[in-house]
Amino acid sequence: MQKTVLVVGAGPAGLAAAAGVAASGAQAVLVEKAAKLGGTPILSGYAKLVPSGEWARDAMGRMIKRVEESKNVTIHKETKVTKLAGEAGKFTATLSNGTSVECASVILATGFTHFDSINKPEWGFGTFEDVVTTTQVEQMVAAGKIACPSDGRVPERVAILLCVGSRDRQIGREWCSKICCTVSTNLAMEIKELSPTTDVFIYYMDIRTFGLYEDRFYWKSQEEFKTKFVKARIAEVTRSPDGRLLVKGEDTLVKRPIVIPMDLVVHAVGMDPNEDNPEIARVFGVGLEKHGFIDRAEHYTNTCGTTRRGIYAVGAALAPETIDDSISQGTAAALRAVADLNALVQKSA
């Protein structure tokens, strides 16, 4: 009988799951392929998080400290699971560092991969230095300076293009990445804080700042920070002879083509399924849904379940997800995994 839960991935979801398992008195083995814990917010150097406004390094830092200091959590960094044998209640996992782990259940918290903007060449990423992604702007904000990569000047105008790599049948991405609207309205405010004379334009099809993010981010960005919202999906980004960028598209409200000069163009990149998902599906024997995220069981009574008994999935591994909800799911899956352990204990008694 195993008293151990295997958690794969140490982002917000996995850190919450490991902490939940440990707090209930069971053992968690946390396997993370990167050299650092904290997941995407740390690995990609995010600035202040939505909605707390806390720096990613502080918020994630507390989650990391909690598992690192727990005597019930064993951590393997720069490690992957290469094989999983057995069945629910008695799995044996083989790790890439040679360790073998006996566990009753598995929580997959393997997250997502950023959309690679190179796949939308018409929007200029990879061609023009001053076309960047939200991830790069997060890093600029974290470093305290907003500047055009080409020559270091402070941009007079920034265009943020929403839904880059989301909601686009042309590139097989038929989902909304859920958080990029809120993150973009927030980044616009952060840009204005660093450079009050910069004008920020958000080019949108819809603004999806759901729930309480509506007034805290969308309205605040528009009303207090004067972010301008333009209803247009940009068709092309080019460069004008003076070196500035030109965004071209149709302003659907004016019903006119636009060619507007900008200094910095930001792609609000979406959340793709983790590029490891085919491998994860093979190693763990779980199914993937049609977009390539890990497939869910029915959620009502098999919360966080996958297509395989004893294996749970949480956070952005399942679908584009926010940090807060990833954490809640991690905690929920910990409860399910520990309930599995208790059921085994009762059975053997």
Partner 1 sequence: MAIHEKTLIDAERLQTSDNLVLDGVDVSGHWNTMVLPRYLTDYDTDFARQIRTFSGGENVHRCWQCGSCTNSCTVYAQNTDFNPRYWIYLTNLGLKKEILKDKDIIWTCVSCNRCTNICPKDVKPEGVMKALAHWLEEEGHTPETKSSIFDNEFLGQVYATGRIEDTRVLVNFLRKTNQSLTPPWLIEIGKRMTKYFPLTFLMHMGLHLVFKPRTKSWGRTGEVLREYVHEQKEIARKARAMPKEAVHV
| Residue ranges binding partner 1 (CB under 8 A) | 157, 196-197, 199, 201, 207, 219, 222-223, 226, 228-231, 251, 253-254, 256-261
**DSSP state string for 31-45:** E-SSSSSS-HHHHTT
Contacting residue, 72, 110, 136, 306, with ligand FAD by CB under 6 A: 110
Strand pairing category for 264-269 and 131-133: parallel
Provide, rounded to whole angstroms, the least separation between the CB of residue 137 and partner 1.
20
What, of partner 1, ligand SF4, ligand FAD, none, does residue 162 touch, CB below 5 to 8 Å by kind? ligand SF4
Task: List the alpha helices (DSSP H) in the chain.
Answer: 12-23, 40-43, 56-68, 134-143, 180-194, 213, 220-223, 277-284, 323-348
Provide, rounded to whole angstroms, the least separation between the CB of residue 348 and ligand FAD.
31
Of 64-72, 158-166, 249-257, 269-277, the window that binds ligand FAD (rule: CB under 6 A) is 269-277
Provide, rounded to whole angstroms, the least separation between the CB of residue 146 and ligand FAD.
15
Q: Are 320 and 177 in contact (CB under 8 A)?
A: yes
Q: Would you state the structure tokens that stand for residue 119, as one six-digit string? A: 């796949």
Of 218, 222, 132, 155, which is closest to residue 183 (Cα–Cα)?
218
What, of ligand FAD, ligand SF4, partner 1, none, does residue 322 touch, CB below 5 to 8 Å by kind? ligand FAD
* Residue owning tokens 């004067």: 226
Provide, rounded to whole angstroms, the least separation between the CB of residue 167 and ligand FAD.
15
Strand pairing category for 112-114 and 271-273: antiparallel
Task: List contacts with ligand FAD (CB under 6 A).
Answer: 8-14, 31-34, 39-41, 46, 49-50, 80, 109-112, 114, 134-135, 138, 179, 183, 269, 271, 274, 276, 280, 315-317, 321-324, 326
